[in-house]
Amino acid sequence: MEKSVKSTAITQGLILGVILSLITVIGYVAYQDIFTQWWLLLVLLGITITIGIISAIKSRKLLGGYISYKSAFTSYFLTIVIGTLISMVVGILIFTVIDTGAAESIKERSIEVTVQMMERFGAPQETIDETITKMEEQNTFGVATQLKNWAGGMVFYIIVGLLACLAIRKNEPLY
């Protein structure tokens, strides 16, 4: 039974990886400013969590309608890990190997958007200048930064998954 949970998770993880990678590639090709939009993060989080939950539910159905908390979380977690790793590798390839100029362009646009937002909220110029300096020093699309962001994202996904799998689990009756 555990094998079917893992194969479901792997399949869903590959689907998630393709979807997230397509969003990255389409954004890169068609509209790079999308990477500076705050709502893109919400969309990506929503897609990732939804497919992780779908994976756990599919695993439950595959097991005859019953699934332990551990198996539900395993399905959710493997899906998220596989999908987000694929997406991260695609992003690294595009922005650190294929077209580093695009990464720099997106970084410059991100700084502009951040400055505009800070000015709208009345931030002091000194704070704005410090933020600009920090943003300029960051290698947003570098491998180390991507791995750090991936690990931070995984903490969030794990917390959501632990809670979601409480609702997904369904133990077989004892009698």
pLDDT at 88: 95
pLDDT at 67: 92
Which parts of 84-169 are beta strand (E)? none
Q: What pTM value is reported for the model?
A: 0.85
Q: CB 158: neighbour CB atoms within 10 A? A: 15
Enumerate the H helices of 31-142 as residue ranges. 38-62, 69-92, 100-120, 125-137
Residue 174 is assigned to a structural domain of this protein: no
Dist. CA 93–CA 106, nearest whole Å = 15
pLDDT at 37: 85
pLDDT at 170: 87
Helix (H, G, I), strand (E, B) or coil at 44: helix
How many domains is the chain partitioned into structurally? 1
pLDDT at 157: 97
End-to-end CA distance of the chain, in Å?
A: 21
Expressed as residue numbers, the domain containing 141 is 2-168
pLDDT mean for each 10 residues of the chain (175 residues): 82 97 93 86 96 96 92 96 97 90 86 85 83 83 90 96 94 78
Dist. CA 129–CA 114, nearest whole Å = 11
Residue 173 is assigned to a structural domain of this protein: no
Residue 39 is assigned to a structural domain of this protein: yes
